[in-house]
Structure 1
């Protein structure tokens, strides 16, 4: 396919997708509450930090 035709088709499809996304956003109304997004974000950060942190060493009592 000629590169300019490919680029033109890509631009048309991108415009269609943007129009659909815009219409979908208007249909849904407002975005989810910001506080829920913030809590979810910080929870993901906490989980990520736990995954990368070295395991804690457990002290074994000496008898």
Structure 2
């Protein structure tokens, strides 16, 4: 491989490696609202189930 070609490939790969953390961070930020909505949804389901279930009769 010609040295200039090798250098060009090296620069492209280095740019890709530098861009990976940013891409990962952006993907993680985009995913966060879904995680919050999921947790909130399951919390609401749990509260609804507790409200719908009959209370045990203590002492009667």
* Superposition TM-score tier, normalisation by shorter sequence: 0.3 to 0.5
Structure with higher Rg: it is 2
TM-score, normalised relative to structure 2: 0.45
